[in-house]
Amino acid sequence: MGQTRAMTPLVLTLVLMIAVKAVTCLQSFHQEPQYTEVNPGQSAVLHCKVNSKAGQCSWQKDGYPIGPEKNKYEWANEAEMDRGDCSLRVLGADLKYDDGLWSCQVTASSFQTQDALRSVPAPLVVRVVPEPPQIVYSSVAIASGRNLTARLEDLVTVQCTSAGGNPPAAIRWFVGEEDLTAHATQQNISDSDVPRTWTAVSTLRHTFLRRQAGSYLRCVALHQAWESQSQDTIARLDLQYAPELSIVAPTTEDLEDNVSAAVLQCRVDANPPAKVVWRFAAAGTGRGEEYFVEQLEFRPVARQNSGTYECEASNHIGKSRPLSVTLDIKYAPRIYRVHPTRHVTVSLHNSTSLECEAEANPPPSYRWLQTRGPQPSTVRGSGGRLTLENVTYEHRGRYICLATNVINGEERADRSEPVHLKVVGPPQMRRAAEPLQLPLGMVPAVRGQQAVLEQRFCSDPAPSRVTWLWDDQRLQAGHVRGRFVADEVVQDSAEACYKTRLRIQSAGPADEQEYVIIVENPLGSDRHALALQVKGVQLLAEPVSMVTVMAIAGSGLLLLIVLIAIICHAFKKGQCCFSHKGGFKPTDIESEKADTNGHGEAAGRNGLGAIPPDALYAGPKKPPQGIASYEFCGEEDDRADRPTVYSTSCGGGGGIIYADLQLPRASNNGSMRKLRQARRPGRQVEDTAPSAAPPAVEYAVIKFPSKAGVEGERTQV
């Protein structure tokens, strides 16, 4: 039993080895025939190789046995046939005899094994050059390069055919460099007229885009029989679509009447070409016109060209969306109406209106200018209508309407004919608020000189009477009364305006009062008062500003402080002209001043403390009595009004100097001021001088400090 079990694996192994050997000895294909193409007249090898070949090789074409035949069929490698190479060479390939399905067969190695072999039929194709490709659209063949006309955005179905080829040609589609083959299907149809040839038909279904219009659709047929291995044909895509428009208009610069040029161009993109029409609607009137051109030219433009221009195009595919552009022709103002014309008369203090109308683009702005004689123009108002309320004589004159606008940064203007405005009514004075009136009605005059009172007024009709009134006096223009002269009324620089003057000779304080002027004409009267102010003899300067007044007051105050400081310093140092030594008291003189001047306004207000500079002059040759043995110094001077100076030392080395002081003993204490009598207001009082006593001579001995530092003395003689 144990041996039997040990032998069982061995037996199984031997049986398995015998079975494998038996299997491996069965015939099988190492290489079967494949699809093969050959050009006519050339040779082709149909490959067939068998493993463990033991049977006989043979071939079938289209189900019929084919054996070796001289100059037609032969074994490709006869020496290797025993090792399983059953390949067959076809000589002089011919479409009629050789084109078909070929199978390689091997007989069984023995009738027991049943291992006969038969390959899958493989085509041997004897090539036939096909016809060049042809594009067909709507059953019509399109010659290469001609148009393929279709509507844009429609689904287009187009075919490309290549007939008589074997095998059938492979067809591809392109638009430019874009491959559209994926949108096509190919069908190969056997030719009934020529057996074993084919017609290749490729059908493309595609919607072409606007950007592809005018491009070329290309059909490419691929076949090995052609030397270049491909041929193609093209068709221009004539894609038709409704017009699309764009307008080329002038720049944004203003177009000026009879100056600028303008071109309007309607650019049309359409297939087939479209008809273009311009429709014009005039601005304001709506007047319409049509122009069947693509481009409108205006050289130059005119104002009647202003309006809206609409462009539209159409073809058999459809119409475009209309586009429009507006021309706004600018033109300078032209005044065509002014009302009232030429002349208008208005009563004083009434109202009136002036109207002005102008045509312009852009719309004009208005200004009303008033001119009166040589005076510059005055702007009275703006707007097409000027209303004058409460008319005065200031409103008379010529009124001109000025209409302006701006074109391309430059002002354009037109002026109307002047309208003469006349104002009639009673006289009217020019008062303080008016520019020709003197400020505040106050007339300054200088005492003793001629005073002139002048008044301007306007009157239409002319004044019939002009009268000056003051106190109980009445004086008409053109008359004289004593110192008062009323001049004739004269024409002023402005129309219907006059001036009258009253002249007062040798004006005095008594003339300071109001003077009333009354002006009359047939329509009424007006009056006005002027006040005369008489001043002393001095220059009449212009009014001083507050800053100047403050500066002068400050300077005066500063000067006063400096003077006080100097005087105080002088008293402190004991160098004032009078000293308290010698028993002299300034109150002695002050008491005398009080006796003389009842008003306390003596000429010696500042006392006798200072010796005037003119006191130190040469005097008589001999010293006065009481002063002896002093040497006379200086030159002789016979004038009695000069003081005499004596000195003990002519060398001037610090001696004593005597001065002959002529101090009058009048109650005015030597003051040169004249006393005035009290003056009643409004009256002129002549100056009177008090009677003066004969002047007495007083001498003063003045000793100045010498170089040795001796203190000087001052004594009264």
> Contact 705/713 with Cβ under 8 angstroms?
no
pLDDT tens-digit map of 487-524:
999 998 778 899 999 999 999 999 999 999 999 999 99
Question: Which of 328, 360, 338 is closest to 417 using CA atoms?
Answer: 338
How confident is the model at residue 431, as a pLDDT?
72
How confident is the model at residue 495, as a pLDDT?
82
How confident is the model at residue 17, as a pLDDT?
52
Instruction: Give Cα 253 distance to the centre of its chain.
Output: 15
18 belongs to a structural domain: no
565 belongs to a structural domain: no
> Contact 431/528 with Cβ under 8 angstroms?
yes
Do 530 and 605 lie in one domain? The reply is: no
Between the CA of residue 584 and those of 187, 413, 667, what are the distances in Å?
Answer: 160, 94, 19
d(C-alpha 124, C-alpha 474), whole Å: 154
Do 588 and 642 lie in one domain? The reply is: yes
How confident is the model at residue 552, as a pLDDT?
86
Do 40 and 121 lie in one domain? The reply is: yes
Between the CA of residue 588 and those of 131, 160, 223, 592, what are the distances in Å?
Answer: 162, 154, 159, 6
> Contact 321/275 with Cβ under 8 angstroms?
no
The DSSP secondary structure of 161-202, one letter per residue, reads: EEEEEBSPPEEEEEETTEE-GGGEEEEEEE-SSSTT-EEEEE
Question: Which of 717, 704, 703, 606 is closest to 661 using CA atoms?
Answer: 717
How confident is the model at residue 24, as a pLDDT?
52
Question: Which of 418, 402, 250 is closest to 332 using CA atoms?
Answer: 402
d(C-alpha 61, C-alpha 66), whole Å: 7
Do 434 and 419 lie in one domain? The reply is: no
14 belongs to a structural domain: no
Do 439 and 486 lie in one domain? The reply is: yes
679 belongs to a structural domain: no
Domain count, the chain: 6
For 228-364, where are the E strands, in sequence order?
230-248, 255-256, 262-271, 275-282, 288-291, 295-298, 307-314, 323-327, 329-339, 343-347, 352-361
How confident is the model at residue 646, as a pLDDT?
39
Do 320 and 340 lie in one domain? The reply is: no
Question: Which of 502, 375, 496, 327 is closest to 427 using CA atoms?
Answer: 496
Q: Is the dihedral of CA 96, 99, 101, 107 positive or negative?
A: positive
Do 460 and 508 lie in one domain? The reply is: yes
Could you say which residues of the chain have pLDDT below 50? 1-7, 11, 15, 18-22, 433-439, 538-542, 576-717
The 10 Å Cβ neighbour count of residue 72 is: 15
Do 311 and 352 lie in one domain? The reply is: no
How confident is the model at residue 466, as a pLDDT?
96
Q: At which of 126, 146, 177 does a domain end?
A: 126
The residues that bridge with 422 in the sheet, in sequence order, are: 345
Question: Which of 591, 616, 586 is closest to 602 using CA atoms?
Answer: 591
d(C-alpha 359, C-alpha 257), whole Å: 13
549 belongs to a structural domain: no
Q: At which of 424, 439, 461 does a domain end?
A: 424
Close Cβ partners of 400 (under 8 Å, ≥ 6 residues apart): 368, 369, 371, 377, 415, 416, 417, 418, 419
Do 96 and 165 lie in one domain? The reply is: no
Do 140 and 114 lie in one domain? The reply is: no
> Contact 45/98 with Cβ under 8 angstroms?
no
The 10 Å Cβ neighbour count of residue 368 is: 23
13 belongs to a structural domain: no
Range of the domain at 89: 23-126
Do 163 and 303 lie in one domain? The reply is: no
541 belongs to a structural domain: no
Q: What is the CATH number of the domain that holds 31?
A: 2.60.40.10
Q: At which of 327, 344, 376 does a domain end?
A: 327
Question: Which of 194, 219, 198, 230 is closest to 134 using CA atoms?
Answer: 219
The DSSP secondary structure of 637-648, one letter per residue, reads: ---TTS--EEES
101 belongs to a structural domain: yes
Would you state the torsion angle of the CA atoms of residues 133, 138, 141, 146, taken in this order, to the nearest 10 degrees? -100
Do 104 and 121 lie in one domain? The reply is: yes
